[in-house]
A = this chain, B = another copy of it.
Amino acid sequence: MSQPSLPLTDDNRQDIFAEGETPMTEREMAEARFWFQVLRLRRRIFDDLNTALMAGAGLSVAKFDALAQLYRFRDGLSMSELSAKLKVTNGNVSGLIARLQKDGYVAKSIAPGDRRSFRASITKEGLEIFQTALALHREETSRKLRNIPMDEIDSLTNDLDRISKEISIPETDDSGAQLSRQ
Given contacts A24-B138, A84-B8, A160-B38, contact A168 B44 (CB under 8 A): yes
Query: Smallest CB–CB gap between A50 and chain B, Å?
Result: 11
- Report the count of interface residues on A (CB-CB < 8 A): 79
Most buried by B among A3, A65, A73: A73
Q: How many copies does the complex hold?
A: 2
Q: Are A42 and B44 interface neighbours, CB within 8 A?
A: no
Determine chain A's interface SS by DSSP, over half rule.
helix
A124 at the interface (CB under 8 A from B): no
List residues of chain A with CB under 8 Å of any chain B CB: 1-3, 5-6, 8, 10, 12-13, 15-17, 19-22, 24, 27-28, 30-35, 37-45, 47-48, 65, 68-69, 71-75, 77, 81, 84-85, 87, 131, 134-135, 137-138, 141-148, 150, 152-154, 156-157, 159-161, 163-164, 166-169, 171, 181
